[in-house]
Every structure is written in C-alpha cells, then in structure tokens.
A and B are shown apart, each in its own frame.
Chain A
C-alpha cells in the first residue's frame, strides 16, 4: 500500500530564505508525482507535475526533483516571499492505477 509522508509538518522562515520541502513514498512504482499549494479555505493549485521518466521540473522560483529509487521528491523554493505562505502537498499516482495518494502537507509561513 502506497504511503506518502511529508517532512516537516510545519516550517517558518524569514523572507528571502531558500528552502526545501520533502516528500517520501513507499512504493516506487509510480506514474507521476505532483506538487500543489493550498491556501486556507481554498482548493489546490497545481505547482509542478513530474512524470516517472523525469528527474526534475522547474517553474519560476520552484524546482521539484524526483528520485524513484529512493522514494523521494523535494520541492525547492528560492528567495521565499510572504506570498508563498500556504500548505504544500505532494501527491503520487501509482502505475496502472487511478488513485492519487496525498501526503498530509507542509504548512509554510514566510515572515516579512
């Protein structure tokens, strides 16, 4: 059974700092992995989608990497801003399945 864990559960950093959020999964037979952000009381906003054949994806100040063999993904946020404050979720879809398994998220607070 696929389990997805995100560490840390919460993180507070000063504005301008670079930071890394971690996501680990137990079953390496994944089809893809997607990072989302969720603002309080809102739905999820897609940040980056990494297919199983890819090692990383970049969008602006965000970079996500994927290492299937070790069951890990990281989301790197450069030069953090207060507007980055949100909960960040990673989600994994297994090869041959329809179900997407989410981690519990990392709550990020960037202090001005």
Chain B
C-alpha cells in the first residue's frame, strides 16, 4: 500500500478483555516500530522488529503486552486482560531500514472501560 495502515482505528474494550491491533507497514520496509501515545504526550517506544525478529521489546509495559511479526510484514500488538491504564493511542511506524525516515500509521485509539 501507499502508506502504513492500522486497524481498527478505534477500539473499545471492557476491562479484562483481550485485544489485537494490526499494522500493515509499507511494502519492503524492514524496520517496524510500535509506540504508545497518551493524551498530550509524545509517543513512547514499545518494541522494534527487523523483519520477523523482535530485536527490542524493552518498552512493553508489562507481560500482558505481546507483539509479533511472523512473516516480516504485518505485525500484531496484543494486549491481554486490558486495564484502564492501557487506554491510549497505539502507533505503528515503518522504515526502509533502521535509521531511515520513519513513516507512521494513523494509530488505533484504545479505550478500556
């Protein structure tokens, strides 16, 4: 596709529910990043993939958060047993390689009620 695509755009989850957020990066982009953005703040790094390898997951806030990119293209961020503090916008970005210009998707706004 022409840009990074994320789905769904909006997700409302009941506390305790599991959610899965999808990211379709730009075709051919090796690097893929996930970020969490709270209202009025800059994005905070969650995890980084180089192709299918998850090279850095130091930003994942707890073991309820899990990300995968099994074929080196589409990535899924899964949050188990959602809590209210998980409410945020989740942004995905891709770049041709590490250090190249990063392109962001529109984000998924998650609201946990």
**B56 to chain A: closest residue by CB:** A98
Q: Do the beta carbons of A43 and B48 come within 8 Å of each other?
A: no
Of the residues A32, A34, A91, A99, contact of B58 by C-beta under 8 Å: A99
With A42-B106, A43-B91, A99-B56 as known contacts, state yes or no: A34 contacts B101, CB within 8 Å. Answer: yes
Total contacting residues, chain A, CB less than 8 A: 24
**Interface presence of B2 (CB below 8 A):** no
Chain A contacts for B43, CB-based, 8 A = 44, 89, 91, 102
Q: Do the beta carbons of A101 and B45 come within 8 Å of each other?
A: yes
**Interface presence of A104 (CB below 8 A):** yes
With A43-B106, A99-B56 as known contacts, state yes or no: A89 contacts B42, CB within 8 Å. Answer: yes
A34 to B6 Cα, complex, angstroms: 22
Contact with A along B29-51 (1 / 0, CB 8 A): 00001010000111111001000
**Interface presence of A93 (CB below 8 A):** yes
Max chain B C-beta neighbours (<10 A), residue from A34, A89, A102: A102
A42 to B3 Cα, complex, angstroms: 13
Binding site for A on B (CB under 8 A): 4, 6, 33, 35, 40-45, 48, 55-56, 58-59, 91, 93, 98-107
The 9 closest A-B pairs by CB, nearest first: A102-B42, A98-B48, A44-B104, A43-B104, A98-B56, A43-B106, A99-B45, A49-B101, A104-B42
Binding site for B on A (CB under 8 A): 4, 31-32, 34, 36, 42-46, 49, 51, 89, 91, 93, 97-105
Known: A34-B102, A98-B98, A104-B41. 20 other contacts (CB 8 A): A4-B42, A31-B99, A34-B101, A42-B106, A43-B91, A44-B104, A46-B103, A46-B104, A49-B101, A89-B42, A89-B43, A93-B99, A97-B56, A99-B48, A100-B33, A100-B102, A103-B42, A104-B42, A105-B41, A105-B42
